[in-house]
Amino acid sequence: MGGNRARIRESGERLTVDFNGKHICVTGASSGIGLVTARMLVARGARVSLLARRKELLDEVVAELGANAAGFPADVGDKASLEAALDAAAAHFGPIEALFANAGLTGGFTPFTAFDPEVFAETIKVNLTSVFWAAQKVLPAMIEAKKGAILVTGSMGSKRGMAMNPAYVSSKHGVLGLTRAIAVEMAPHGIRANCIIPGFIRTEALDRIPDHQKGMIAARVPQRRMGEPEELAEVACFLLSDAASHVTGQDWAVDGGVLESIEVG
């Protein structure tokens, strides 16, 4: 592979990707999936811009990750705030070569007929419209460079209906469609776009629920366990890397088999 392609090498028993200084931006990076992925990217040689609302958490993460990480506080639901952070990231590390649009809201659970229209609008703005804004901001430099990757965090709600959460389901269906639209239009420019679909991943939010509910969730997974954030981050790193050079327009589930299985008996 050429000098701009990620190098793949054996490291112990795990095949890893060396990002060789590539500048990758991660939104929602101060906790959960975004944070674990950012750590993994830095460990594999990327320069990572971390965007999140909580500056104090960003400062702690950047101090942990070192010189190849930089934090830029931003509310992705505010176009001016998001674009200013992306500009600052590009000024710090150079043009953004890959974007992991991971920030999002759950939207809350309320019966459809009582669902707050303002919550619906805010969830769509943060989960879907912000991805459109971010992609519009970073794509011109990728088009000029004739390379790039965009990865969006979808949900099992991107593929299935879910009761009492119309905003979240609508937004996550939307990001899958948006990802595919970007993939088709940008493919001639050497730019890929994919959507990663987390299943029941053990994050701070899931860790807060009672143990008996965790057991009920795990029982719904064919593997009979929830996933670890590192397992999802491994796939995210692959999709952001040149090792996935012929993968675009895809929804890639990391769910232990939930979405594509029917169990009888």
> Could you list the active site residues?
168
| Contact indicator for 52, 72 with CB cutoff of 8 Å | no
Residue ranges of E strands in 64-190 = 69-73, 98-101, 148-153
| Contact indicator for 214, 201 with CB cutoff of 8 Å | no
Q: For the chain, give percent helix, strand, coil, nearest 5.
A: 45, 20, 35
DSSP annotation of 255: S
DSSP annotation of 201: B
Residue 37 phi, psi (nearest 5): -65, -40
Q: What are the angstrom distances between the C-alpha of 105 and each of 72, 75, 109, 235, 262?
A: 19, 12, 12, 22, 29
